[in-house]
Structure 1
Amino acid sequence: MSREIQWRRKWHPDLKACPWQALEAGGQNFLVKTKFSNDSCEIMITDLVSFWYEHLPETTLRKRIQELNPSVEAPLTKILDHIKLTVERPPRGTTHITEHTPGGDHREGEGPRFLLRIGSQLAGMPFTWNFVCRPVTDLVASDHLTKPLMTMVSELTRRQAELEKIILLKDTEIEDYISQGARPSRKHYKTVPYDEVAFFNSMLDSKDFEEQVKKMGEVAFNDANRELYRHIMTKHAWLNWSPTKGKAPQSLDDDESLNAGVNTGSSIPSWTNRIPPSVISSGESSPASSPTKSPSKSPVSAGSRTPDDSPVKNVELIRRQALERRLEQDAKKQEKPKKKKKMAF
């Protein structure tokens, strides 16, 4: 398994990796992206001129729910699922209204705002929700839309070139079949050889090209391109990931031990470090202080030695095992009185 696959399984995508989608509100077209968790949500919205953003932690979410919908009682996760639905796949009857506010007297926290008001039905009851977004910097807008779009154009161009190579090879294959006497079973199956210039000119003259220009990218984020955007941003995150940033486990090679809850840096000493010095022979150093021995070896693994081991090491092993059994017996003796006292009570 590659390191990238291991990283993808542990990586939690942020808002940057969430694709854009079209949203019509107040008779105007917008692009919007969202990220929801069990107790928070983020939203970014743009009209391709300005960008606005809001992050709602749990406390702010609960406060706004109480202010806008005091009669609604539902788990927070249920309400978040509903808000997400009204933005990403609005049910019939959902309304979206936008409002710009200049920011008034410019006091602290009072800047220009963009309000997205959503009206819907939750379990048969009216449900209102407002996103109160603030403007974001040009750098954020570039990272979320401009650069990803440029990358998408480059990738789609590369894919088109690869498809043209395949088509040309197919034409060569068909010519070879025809030279051997093969014929298509239906007339409409017959195609003309691919010509790049003719194809380009036909696309420019087509009615669909005119429609795309009229829409000016309104449908750029269809299902296929949204998935492409997601893959591009995920790959970008992987290429810029560094173990020193603390956004992923320090060692992806130790996934199994991490998943199993093994803590190599635990402050709890292993059983070998609890052996009294009197039990350890004077001719040997403590396993805890010896750099050539592992302090975490269990008695089972320590017992599986080769016949070439020295008698001193075998005696030491027997002493350690006897000590472990004695410690277990003492622990059992201490537990028995407690049980009797419970029964008597």
Structure 2
Amino acid sequence: MACDGACAELRLLHSPWLPVYIGGFRFLSKSWFGSSEYHVLLTDMKCVWEERMGTAHIQERAQELNRRLRAPVSAFFSHLRQVAEPCLTGSSELRLLHPEAQMSLRRQEGGNIHLKLKSELGGLPFHWEFHCSPAPVTVVRSTAAPAPVTVACAQLLRPLFSISVVLQRQVEQLGSLLVQKDKEIQDYRENGATLSRERLQTDVFQEQLYKDDFMAKVVCVFIFIGVFIFISIFIFVGVFIFVVCVFIFIGVFIFISIFIFVGVFIFASVVWLHPSAAVGHWAQPPAPGPAQCGIPQRHHGSLEQRQSSDTKPMQSSGCR
């Protein structure tokens, strides 16, 4: 069993990550199906989920989901593989073989996800569920390194780094091959060989010049991406500030409108409750003064003058 587990892990490691669309969500998936066991990995680049199932657990889950099923694992596992692999690889050609198979996704508490698979086996409905849980830190032990490593490191980062190293070596080998080809062509020319078609003539390959040109293009791409991100952030911040200013202006306008409305309402209420007082205060003419009624003003003179003024009859001027 240890050898089988190591071989299964090695095959899963060499399997590519494939984009799949399950239940309205996009994932990268890789899976391995043996004779009576499987190993499934899913990731959305934020978390990695996995499930490993052996023969005994597959038999137990099959009995729970399909009460009428009494067949051993070897009898229905091939059907499970045929209907599950198209959903887990995104292959439209394999889906045509079992168009009735449907897979849905349901998220559980604790970060788990369940993949529900519905199909038909021998004319009867066949149900299966993949219970994928977040991969723990020490779940995978690489065959190259005895220390436990994470699934993301073993199945995502390490293959990417390995491919990057391989591609770099291929570029160096191709550069060396082009230099040798240029030397071979130069030897042909020195011995009198000529091209029958001038359009096939090429310049001598200069490795350093090629690297500099490539790096310049890469730097230009990164600069363009940086400028684009900066402009996008600047526009977003400008739009956000503009929206905030508009909301502040609307709020101030509403506050002033409410204040004016309340003032007008209070004044109207006072006029409605005390109309006579308000009308009398604004419409009643001022009372006539003593001078208008012909009442002489008192002077601070001698006693005789005040007595003589008091004895004079009051002029009739309409005042009583």
Q: Which has the higher contact order (CA 8 A, sep 6+)?
A: 1
- TM-score with structure 2 setting the length: 0.49
Q: Report which of the two has the higher share of helix.
A: 2
- TM-score with structure 1 setting the length: 0.46
Larger Rg belongs to: 2
